[in-house]
């Protein structure tokens, strides 16, 4: 008779307490000993209906933290699909959904429903938020020679942290009778080795089912220095290979990222990721899947220029801290106090000097939106290369300079992770460089705004206005800017196209992923049209096209209608729900 989850949790605690861990080899041996050693807590013997009923008792998502970043938004979409898929099996109250993470930011309330359960575990956030970056640095930025005292000490510390996290995780799953867990990025992007090790131990010893959702892998944009050509630039994830010569550590590292468990499915966001798992790392093709994003029906709704001005009026209240007009902070003043602003980030609009007035709802305001966080790989500073090129292009410059009602705003909608202050300084410096190249009368009409993920303000309700939502954020824009260097998917391309907003984007790395997102190999009606963000100078033809889009409201109707239709054909919510049904059916086919 199969043990229930509470009994499995007791076994997890017993096995971890009995382990004697001195180094990385001991951790690997522990995992090998317990891999596939537990039967599932409840056997369904390939019965699809019974397995649906089992999973409908509760599903847990597991990631570093929750906010309004792209990963959190995708998790929300997955959760909503599971509500529809498992709800009829779960009864009147629906399927209980649980969100487990190292932190829940204030902005998480925007995407997580109040009825969804939250459970915070200390120590499982990632990167610099993992014990202030101490262990991330020791693993990936400092030398850790094999069999050294420092290597053994780090291994023991990681083990102890993993035991603490696994104890909290296993206890919560057992208490809430959760047999299906959906980790997102923890098993693929190594922001916290202890959180991944804890997940693997809990899933193997407690017999959990795992749908592992991978958005980014450590080997995307990363490789050992020995594999780079002499003139090849460093990759943004090269640091994960810093200690690959420590074979005991790196063998465990590769074993964990991602874990190839018998009750695990690997779900990736593009086919090159899946191909690498199968051909390079030996995963079973039948247990490796791709899952595209989904776009809500409201993204496709038509909106008028008058409705757009209304949405911009709402955003003005957010950017101005509730005032009817936006007053700027001078760029020099903001740079001088940037560290203080980073600590308590709030919406701000910067101008050439303090006290300038911006009216985003004016019909002649050009609104350029970068719908991302501020991190280096987004290359937001390149947006100001575009602005500079336009200001030197006669077709645009003459119209803008000679019309004092013309204003231009570059709005970055996401927050700035605390560890990326230097990246923000790069963006602000690029903005200042553009201002310094222009006459004062022109520079005074070019602004940069940061809303840091804020979608509400008390002034909205006071003036009878609803809070913003993701669809409205996109509808602010005359043009979407997305000069990213590397992406796991490139969600802004899909979302902007669904909303009918033209996008200027780079052919980011991996280029196969970019080609897949825009549908280069699909029939013409399913291909997304875009304007290329070049790596070098902007061609005159591109600047002419952008000038018409930015200066003539409502232009490029065919462009917009085509993209709406292409996204509607490829990214429906029904597609994602069908995929999750396949995942659950595949897991349920395994005899416990």
Report the DSSP beta bridge partners of residue 448: 350, 410
Distance between first and last Cα of the chain: 11
Average pLDDT across the chain, whole number: 92
Least confident of 85-89, 259-263, 404-408, 456-460: 85-89
pLDDT in tens, 432-467: 999 999 999 999 999 999 999 999 999 999 999 999
The Cα 82–Cα 181 span in angstroms is: 12
User: Which residues of 207-358 form beta strands (DSSP E)?
Assistant: 209-214, 264-268, 288-290, 326-327, 329-330, 348-351, 357-358
Residue 489: pLDDT over 90: no
pLDDT at 559: 87
Contact 15, 8 (CB under 8 A): no
Mean pLDDT of 259-286: 94
What is the spatial distance between Cα 570 and Cα 383, in angstroms, rounded to a whole number?
A: 29
Torsion from C-alpha of 216, 220, 224, 230, nearest 10 degrees: -150
> What's residue 591's pLDDT?
43
Q: How confident is the model at residue 161 (pLDDT cuts 50, 70, 90)?
A: very high
Strands 365-370 and 407-412: parallel
Mean of pLDDT values over 237-243? 95
Q: Enter the pTM of the model.
A: 0.75
Residue 377's SS3 state is helix
Cis check: omega of the bond before 264, within 30 degrees of 0: no
DSSP-derived 3-state class of residue 283: coil
Task: Calculate mean pLDDT across residues 60-85.
Answer: 91
CA–CA separation, 505 and 515 (whole Å): 12
With 70 as the cut, is the pLDDT of residue 91 above it? no
Residue 280 confidence (pLDDT): 95
**CA-based angle 465:466:470, to the nearest 5?**
135
- pLDDT confidence of residue 107: 81
What gap in Å lies between CA 142 and CA 496, rounded to an integer?
41
Peptide bond connecting 108 to the previous residue in cis, omega within 30 degrees of 0: no
Phi, psi angle pair for 209, to nearest 5°: -95, 140
Tell me how crowded residue 403 is: count the other CB atoms within 10 A of its CB.
Answer: 12
447 with 325: CB under 8 angstroms? no
Sheet holding 348-351, edge to edge: 329-330, 348-351, 446-450, 407-412, 365-370, 479-482, 503-505, 531-532
Q: What is the pLDDT of residue 592?
A: 46
What are 160's two structure tokens? 């102890």
Using the predicted structure, report yes or no on whether residue 44 has a pLDDT greater than 70.
Answer: no
Q: State phi, psi for 412 to the nearest 5 degrees.
A: -100, 120
Beta bridge partners of 509: 486
Domains of the chain: 5-294+575-588 (3.40.50.2000), 297-571 (3.40.50.2000)
């Amino acid at each position: 008779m199969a043990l229930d989850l509470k009994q499995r949790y007791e076994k997890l605690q017993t096995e971890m307490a009995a382990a004697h861990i001195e180094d990385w080899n001991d951790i690997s041996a522990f995992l090998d000993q317990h891999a596939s050693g537990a039967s599932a807590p409840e056997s369904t013997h390939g019965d699809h209906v019974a397995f649906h009923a089992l999973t409908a008792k509760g599903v847990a998502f597991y990631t570093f933290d929750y906010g309004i970043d792209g990963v959190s938004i995708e998790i929300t979409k997955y959760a909503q699909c599971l509500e529809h898929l498992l709800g009829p099996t779960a009864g009147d109250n629906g399927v209980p959904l649980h969100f487990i993470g190292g932190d829940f930011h204030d902005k998480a309330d925007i995407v997580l429903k109040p009825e969804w359960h939250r459970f915070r575990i200390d120590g499982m956030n990632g990167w610099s938020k993992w014990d202030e970056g101490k262990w991330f640095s020791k693993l990936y930025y400092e030398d850790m020679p094999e069999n050294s005292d420092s290597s053994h000490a780090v291994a023991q510390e990681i083990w102890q942290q993993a035991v603490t996290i696994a104890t909290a995780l296993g206890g919560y799953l057992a208490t809430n009778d959760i047999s299906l867990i959906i980790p997102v990025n923890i098993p693929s992007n190594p922001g916290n080795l202890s959180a991944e090790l804890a997940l693997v131990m809990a899933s193997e010893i407690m017999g959990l089912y795992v749908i592992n959702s991978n958005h980014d892998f450590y080997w995307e944009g990363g490789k050992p220095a020995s594999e780079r050509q002499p003139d090849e630039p460093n990759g943004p994830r090269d640091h994960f290979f810093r200690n690959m010569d420590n074979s005991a550590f790196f063998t465990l590292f590769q074993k964990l990222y991602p874990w190839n468990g018998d009750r695990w499915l690997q779900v990736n966001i593009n086919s090159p990721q899946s191909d690498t798992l199968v051909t390079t790392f030996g995963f079973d093709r039948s247990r490796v899947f791709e899952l595209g994003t989904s776009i809500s029906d409201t993204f496709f709704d038509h909106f008028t220029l008058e409705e757009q001005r209304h949405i911009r009026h709402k955003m003005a209240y957010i950017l101005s801290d509730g005032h009817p007009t936006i007053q700027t902070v001078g760029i020099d003043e903001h740079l001088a106090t940037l560290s203080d602003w980073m600590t308590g980030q709030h919406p701000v609009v910067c101008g050439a000097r303090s006290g300038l007035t911006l009216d985003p709802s004016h019909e002649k305001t050009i609104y350029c939106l970068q719908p991302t966080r501020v991190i280096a790989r987004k290359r937001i500073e390149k947006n100001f290369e575009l602005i500079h090129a336009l200001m030197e292009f006669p077709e645009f410059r003459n119209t803008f300079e000679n019309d004092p009602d013309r204003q231009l705003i570059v709005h970055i909608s996401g927050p700035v992770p605390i560890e990326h202050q230097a990246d923000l300084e790069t963006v602000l410096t690029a903005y200042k460089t553009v201002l310094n190249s222009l006459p004062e009368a022109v520079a005074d009409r070019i602004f940069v705004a940061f809303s840091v993920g804020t979608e509400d303000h008390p002034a909205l309700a006071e003036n009878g206005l609803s809070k913003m939502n993701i669809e409205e954020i996109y509808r602010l824009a005359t043009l979407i800017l997305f000069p990213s260097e590397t992406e796991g998917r490139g969600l802004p391309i899909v979302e902007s196209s669904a909303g009918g907003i033209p996008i200027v984007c780079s052919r980011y790395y991996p280029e196969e992923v970019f080609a897949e997102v825009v549908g280069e190999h699909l029939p013409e009606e399913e291909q997304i049209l875009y304007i290329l963000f070049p790596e070098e100078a902007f061609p005159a033809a591109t600047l002419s096209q952008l000038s018409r889009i930015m200066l003539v409201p409502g232009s490029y109707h065919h462009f917009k209608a085509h993209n709406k239709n292409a996204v509607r054909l490829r990214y429906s919510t029904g597609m994602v729900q069908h995929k999750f049904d396949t995942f659950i059916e595949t897991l349920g086919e395994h005899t416990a």
